[in-house]
Amino acid sequence: MSEYHVRICELPVADKPRERLRASGATALADAELLAILLRVGIEGLNAIQLAQQLLIEFGGWPGLQRAGFEELARRRGMGAAKTAQLKAAIEIGRRLLLTTGEERFQIRSPGDAAQLMQIEMSHLDQEQLRAICLDTKNRVQKIQTVYVGSLNTSMVRIGEVFKEAVRLNSAAIIVVHNHPSGDPSPSPEDVLVTRQMIEAGRLLDIDLLDHLVIGAGRFVSMRERGLGFAKS
């Protein structure tokens, strides 16, 4: 059997992902090794690490695996429903860790923090979506709410809906995020107008609009940093 087809059980103990995790911690493992632990077994001709490498390449890394539909993954040779369920559950656990309760809730200190929270999921959406990140007085995330799906324009977006969940949660502030499916995060004149309307509504509700981010392909724009819709400090 060639080295390419070697099974994980035939690897030296020090090279097996689970043993490496036990000895050195999860942070020492490569993405393919972490995924291999979830997959547990490979397929004929590929051990679990090699199968994991193929999946990461084929789907574009963790972001692609997160976006992929359940049935799409389950149909892929070497996956099936059980492995797909394990993978989807693990990815969701990671996402929820960013939104844990109490003092450990994810705190947003900069536009980059907000982008980190949203960019993986939103940068490859086929339709525009507008989401509101509800924040407490320490800018810790309370909830992320999808407010609107479709083209962002003032005739369609109901500004009250943007703040609805924030009012229910007694939030101190929100950050609004929407994506541009074209991949270009440059704000449009419509984006600027909607931002101004949200700022005014927030003042009436005593809920600050801290920022409006536009997500593109691997890039984002903070409209506050650009002074678009926000008064320049």
Which residues are bridge partners to 46 per DSSP? 43
Residue 8 has pLDDT above 60, yes or no: no
Where does CATH 3.40.140.10 sit in the chain?
A: 103-226
pTM of the complete model beyond 0.85: no
122 membership: H or E segment, kind and range: helix 111-122
Question: Which class in CATH covers the domain with range 103-226?
Answer: alpha beta
Predicted local distance difference test score (pLDDT) of residue 43 = 83
Residue among 149, 211, 222, 162 at smallest CA distance from 187: 222
The dihedral region occupied by 45, where left means phi > 0, alpha psi between -120 and 50, and beta the remainder, is left
Q: How confident is the model at residue 4 (pLDDT cuts 50, 70, 90)?
A: very low
| Of the candidate ranges 6-15, 25-34, 140-149, the one whose mean pLDDT is the lowest | 6-15
Average pLDDT, stretch 49-57?
A: 89
Predicted local distance difference test score (pLDDT) of residue 212 = 96
> What pLDDT, in 10s, does the model give residues 63-100?
888 888 889 889 988 888 999 999 999 888 887 776 66
Average pLDDT, the chain: 83
Check residue 33 and report its DSSP letter. Answer: H
Confirm or reject CATH 1.10.150 for domain 3-97, answering yes or no: yes
Predicted local distance difference test score (pLDDT) of residue 30 = 87
| Percent share of the chain, pLDDT over 70 | 87
| Percent share of the chain, pLDDT over 90 | 31
On whether the CB atoms of residues 212 and 175 are closer than 8 A, the answer is yes
Where does CATH 1.10.150 sit in the chain?
A: 3-97
Residue among 125, 230, 127 at smallest CA distance from 176: 230
> What pLDDT, in 10s, does the model give residues 93-142?
887 776 665 556 788 999 998 998 888 778 778 888 999 999 999 999 98
